[in-house]
């Protein structure tokens, strides 16, 4: 049974900087230590974008040093806070497709993992660049990965949710060509689950009949009011990562709030 650990929205900053008083380096380091202690047997750690808060080289280098501590191998893509060229320069071994997008396909015995690059920029013009977009080249690449999956069910990993999540501000900068995306997904009919980040909140459900999971950040989270038009609201809530485990009948998806997780529970 394939087990995948999922991190999203790492928002690394240069040494000495914080986000709303929180240290992304310390919080992610604790998450990596937690994974190494309890999930060293994971088949892959998948990292779904917003790797550096301001896409600077120093932050990517700090992040690379942390990710290299992982016991399981990792696969990685980028999000709206990232710069594709700077990332690729610091992570030269990260998978890229033939057009230079940070995309990957990984086959396991019981599933195919497809990792998508939804970064809209450059140019980095706010707010449009913070929305997600899959151009015709990336959609064609996705179509090929789905078509060639054979009997393997497909898990999709992408930074931007391809549908509304209920948060007004964040939904304004979701994947903006969701209809094109779902046309490809529904045509092949073999996507078992969609995983996304971007919203900094634990969300699950289905869209157009396809189940999805959105995960929280290791750093800061999205407050619950749904109707705020501000897409940059942040609160200090426990750090988290996702766990996905394939089963004989489908897939199980968990969230681990690793900062407050207790292993040695008392018997009631």
Domains of the chain plus CATH, in order, are 3-256 (3.60.21.10)
Structure tokens at 112: 């195919």
**What pLDDT does 205 receive?**
97
Residues 142/155, Cβ–Cβ less than 8 Å? no
Structure tokens at 92: 């030269």
Give the C-alpha separation, 151 to 140, whole Å.
20
**What pLDDT does 261 receive?**
86
Higher pLDDT: 121 or 3? It is 3
Tokens 């190494």 locate to 36
User: What average pLDDT does this structure show over 53-70?
Assistant: 98
CB atoms under 10 Å from CB of 50, counted, come to 24
Query: How wide is the angle at C-alpha 3 spanned by C-alphas 199 and 68, nearest 5°?
Result: 75
What is the phi/psi pair of residue 189, to 5°? Answer: 70, 20
Residues 229/172, Cβ–Cβ less than 8 Å? yes
Q: Strand 111-115 vs strand 154-157: parallel, antiparallel, or unpaired? A: parallel
Q: How confident is the model at residue 96 (pLDDT cuts 50, 70, 90)?
A: very high
DSSP string, 95-162: ---TTS---EEEEETTEEEEE---B-PSS--TTGGGSB---HHHHHHHHHHHHT-TT--EEEE-SS-S
Structure tokens at 123: 């140019």
* Cα–chain center distance at 167: 18
User: What average pLDDT does this structure show over 21-42?
Assistant: 97
What percentage of residues in the chain have a pLDDT greater than 70?
98
> Is the pLDDT at 267 greater than 80, yes or no?
no
Q: For the chain, what is the radius of gyration of the CA atoms?
A: 17
Q: pLDDT tens, 3-30?
A: 999 999 999 999 999 999 999 999 999 9
pTM: 0.96
């Amino acid at each position: 049974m394939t087990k995948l650990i999922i991190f999203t929205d790492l928002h690394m900053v240069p040494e000495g900087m914080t986000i709303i008083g929180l240290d992304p380096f310390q919080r992610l380091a604790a998450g990596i230590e937690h994974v190494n202690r309890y999930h060293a047997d994971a088949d892959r750690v998948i990292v779904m974008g917003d790797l550096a808060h301001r896409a600077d080289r120093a932050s990517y280098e700090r992040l690379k040093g942390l990710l290299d501590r992982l016991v399981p191998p990792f696969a990685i893509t980028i999000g709206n806070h990232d710069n594709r060229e700077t990332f690729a320069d610091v992570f030269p071994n990260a998978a890229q497709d033939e057009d230079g997008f940070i995309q990957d396909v990984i086959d396991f015995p019981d599933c195919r993992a497809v990792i998508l690059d939804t970064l809209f920029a450059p140019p980095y013009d706010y707010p449009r660049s913070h929305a997600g977009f899959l151009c015709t080249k990336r959609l064609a690449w996705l179509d090929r990965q789905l078509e060639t999956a054979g009997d393997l069910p497909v898990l999709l990993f992408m930074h931007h949710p391809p549908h509304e999540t209920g948060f007004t501000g964040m939904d304004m900068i979701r994947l903006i060509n969701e209809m094109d995306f779902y046309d490809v997904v529904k045509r092949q009919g073999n996507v078992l689950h969609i995983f996304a980040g971007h919203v900094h909140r634990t969300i699950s459900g289905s869209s157009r009949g396809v189940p999805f999971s959105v995960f929280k950040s290791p750093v800061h989270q999205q407050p619950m009011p749904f109707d705020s038009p501000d897409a940059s609201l942040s609160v200090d809530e426990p750090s988290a990562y996702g766990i996905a485990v394939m089963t004989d009948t489908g897939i199980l998806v968990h969230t681990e709030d690793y900062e407050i997780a207790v292993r040695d529970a008392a018997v009631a």
